């Protein structure tokens, strides 16, 4: 980045104008810290964003994939993934009062910042009390790019251990498209049946994309 004037270099620009003044590529370059011989950090940042269709695609990318890129490596890949996770956690900050999930939109707003853009599929549940206030959120299974194996017994074992009156099931689609698959439909049917037997209500099953969601309750499937 020596070719840039001092005022246009990402670090100096951030110090002078604040982080909001930087573009996605400049923020990524700052996280990388430095480039390699013949290629500066800003060029590598542009290449990373281009390869992953921008910042949203980058949020679904893991250390292994990032570290394959020339000029990145495991250490810088870990820095990028860690910075993205910090961003997620600021959006999913804890409040002094327990969150109440009254509607599918409430559930999606609660879950999307933490689970909406992941590199692999994760399945979990939100444990709720009798007033549908959040007790705890548990990831039950982590799968591959497009599948996770989950059994109803795993879901309701956790619900019973957590003394939940009801649960919201959720999983993400790494593709970014939250449209339910036939397997999602079948799993939901089995979860509903198991919940009736256990006396624990399945409030909803929410499928998460990047910034979108699909609710089985809103679809009239619950």
Tens digit of each residue's pLDDT (9 = 90 or more) over 38-91: 888 888 989 898 888 888 888 888 898 888 888 888 999 899 989 988 888 877
Largest CA distance in the chain: 68
Instruction: Based on the fold, state whether residues 135 and 78 are members of the same structural domain.
Output: no
State the Cα–Cα distance between residues 84 and 208, nearest whole angstrom.
Answer: 18
**What's the pLDDT band for 93 if we cut at 50, 70, 90?**
low
Compute the residue count for the chain. Answer: 222
- pLDDT exceeds cutoff 80 at 155: yes
- Enclosing domain of residue 175: 104-215
Q: Which of 91, 125, 153 is the last residue of a domain?
A: 91
Candidates 179, 163, 169; CA nearest to 212 is: 179
Instruction: Based on the fold, state whether residues 43 and 132 are members of the same structural domain.
Output: no
Residue 220 lies in a domain: no
Tell me the average pLDDT across 137-143.
91
* Across 4-8, 57-61, 154-158, least confident range: 4-8
Q: pLDDT value at position 143?
A: 83
- pLDDT exceeds cutoff 60 at 213: yes
- pLDDT exceeds cutoff 90 at 162: yes
Contacting residues for 213 by C-beta, under 8 A, at least 6 apart: 104, 108, 111, 112, 116, 178, 206, 207
- pLDDT exceeds cutoff 60 at 215: yes
Tell me the average pLDDT across 153-163.
94
**What's the pLDDT band for 138 if we cut at 50, 70, 90?**
very high
Q: pLDDT value at position 136?
A: 93
State the DSSP H helix or E strand holding residue 156, giving kind and residue range, or none if neither.
Answer: helix 152-161
pLDDT tens, position by position, 177-212: 999 999 999 999 999 999 999 999 999 999 999 889
3-state secondary structure of 36: strand
Instruction: Based on the fold, state whether residues 74 and 177 are members of the same structural domain.
Output: no
What does the mean pLDDT of the chain come to?
Answer: 88
- CATH number of the domain where residue 126 is located: 3.40.140.10
Strand order across the beta sheet in which 134-142 lies: 134-142, 122-128, 166-172, 201-208, 213-215
Task: Count how many domains the chain has.
Answer: 2
Q: Which of 91, 118, 147 is the last residue of a domain?
A: 91
**What's the pLDDT band for 17 if we cut at 50, 70, 90?**
confident
């Amino acid at each position: 980045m020596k070719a840039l004037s001092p005022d246009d270099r990402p670090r100096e620009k951030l110090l002078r104008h604040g982080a909001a003044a930087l573009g996605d590529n400049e923020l990524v370059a700052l996280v990388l810290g430095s480039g390699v011989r013949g290629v500066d950090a800003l060029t590598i940042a542009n290449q990373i964003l281009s390869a992953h269709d921008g910042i949203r695609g980058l949020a679904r990318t893991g250390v292994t994939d990032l570290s394959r890129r020339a000029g990145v490596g495991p250490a810088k890949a870990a820095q990028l993934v860690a910075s993205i996770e910090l961003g997620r956690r600021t959006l999913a900050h804890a409040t002094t009062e327990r969150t109440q999930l009254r509607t599918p939109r409430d559930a999606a707003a609660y879950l999307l910042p933490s689970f909406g853009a992941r590199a692999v599929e994760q399945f979990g549940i939100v444990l709720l009390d009798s007033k549908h206030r959040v007790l705890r959120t548990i990831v039950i299974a982590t799968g591959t790019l497009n599948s996770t194996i989950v059994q109803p017994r795993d879901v309701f074992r956790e619900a019973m251990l957590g003394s939940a009156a009801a649960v919201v099931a959720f999983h993400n689609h790494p593709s970014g498209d939250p449209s339910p698959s036939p397997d999602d439909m079948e799993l939901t049917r089995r979860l509903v049946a198991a919940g009736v037997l256990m006396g624990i209500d399945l409030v909803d099953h929410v499928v998460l994309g990047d910034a979108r969601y699909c609710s089985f309750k809103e679809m009239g499937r619950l």
